[in-house]
Amino acid sequence: MVDKKITIAQIGVGYWGPNLLRNATANSQFRVKTVADFSPERQQYVQRLYPSIYVTGHTKDIFDDPEIEAVIIATPVHTHYQLAMQALKSGKHVLVEKPMATTIEEIDQIEKVSINQKLVAMAGHTFIYNSAVRYVKRLIDNNELGQIRYLYSQRLNLGRIRSDVDALWNFAPHDISIIQYWLNHPTPISVQRSGIACIQRGIDDVVFLSIQYPDNILAHIHVSWLDPRKTRQIVIVGSKKMVVYDDVSEDKIAIYDKGIDIHAILGEHMDYDGSAPFQVKYRNGDLIYPQINFEEPLKLEIQHFIDCINGNAICESGPSQAREVVRILQKSSRVNGEI
């Protein structure tokens, strides 16, 4: 049986909203009926590109419309919780751009209402729908990298400066969601943050975030909108192999058969004494660039939202995953944040 078209609306068409709207309108399983934005300029933008869509400056037009079954929310972070709750209480599924809310308590409330209403609440953690990120996930799950020792990411650029959130809340949800996804959503042991505000008082432009995970795994995240280069990279160091995921490179994934192996030295009595010295062997094997069948992650995210609404999939970026991302962001406000 072919699922019927889902009538949806979108709130917000600012920086990221146009990309969501483009993918929503391109999907044949969606019918985008209404778009709301407070800015007359953005309203004109939508009317010019999508003349069949009703454009309004009032979110009430969406919440009061019984024909609208789902809402995409792409507004400033501080509005996410209120708009998501209004949509859910109006009986509509929600896809909320990252982060889903600003506190874990808010996400708990979103989850509670969505369960009671039997509705989908999904966070826009777009990168977990990225084909290259999913390829690395398979490498980790198949133990091809061995024991994960540490990861570090850099998400850097010159601009875009924001005033509603700092660089950590703007950029790090991507990297945190990827790392949590790769490691099967563990609860961190501790979080340490260091950052500086250069442009606006109280809003960090550069942040370094260290996350200590169980099994002696360390993750380090560096975000900045004051960097000379655009960098979108995560390095994973395993006991068997190492991987560089570079989102701005043509070769998204590089697999290094490199490492350091420790070998015990045979003792005097033909045994391996635990207290005896050991030898270190450096391994430097092949470098492989696997072929990635790449599709736009946002396209896959929108399709996943549809599949969840139709009951054909379990949401991979629902409140439970969104909660852990926000939990880490909240704890990072401390110098040494124990989880």
133 closest CA partner among 316, 328, 332: 316
87 closest CA partner among 112, 115, 68, 102: 68
Q: Where does the chain hold its CATH 3.30.360.10 domain(s)?
A: 128-296+328-338
Please give the Cα distance from 113 to 30 (Å, whole number).
24
Q: Does the 6-126 domain belong in CATH 3.40.50.720?
A: yes
- Residue range 224-235, pLDDT digits in tens: 999 999 999 999
Please give the Cα distance from 321 to 184 (Å, whole number).
10
- Residue range 160-207, pLDDT digits in tens: 999 989 999 999 999 999 999 999 999 999 999 999 999 999 999 999
Check if the beta carbon of residue 150 is closer than 8 Å to that of residue 220. Answer: yes
Q: Secondary structure of 237-298 in the HEC alphabet? A: EECCCEEEEECCCCCCEEEEEEEEEEEECCCCCCCCCCCCCEEEEEEEEEEECCCCCCCCHH
74 closest CA partner among 45, 99, 107: 99
- Tokens linked to 216: 């002696």
92 closest CA partner among 177, 11, 1: 11
- Asked whether the predicted pLDDT for residue 303 surpasses 50, the reply is yes
Please report the pLDDT score of residue 276 as a whole number: 53
Identify the weakest region by mean pLDDT among 34-43, 245-254, 328-337.
328-337
Segment 278-307 mean pLDDT:
92
Give per-residue burial for 62-81: e unless 16+ CB within 10 Å, then b: bbebeebbbbbbbbebebbb
Give the CATH fold of the 128-296+328-338 domain. Dihydrodipicolinate Reductase; domain 2 (3.30.360)
Its pTM stands at: 0.91
CA atoms within 13 A on the CB side of 263: 7
- Tokens linked to 134: 């999913």
Q: Where does the chain hold its CATH 3.40.50.720 domain(s)?
A: 6-126
Banded model confidence at residue 279, pLDDT cuts 50, 70, 90: confident
42 closest CA partner among 23, 61, 14: 14
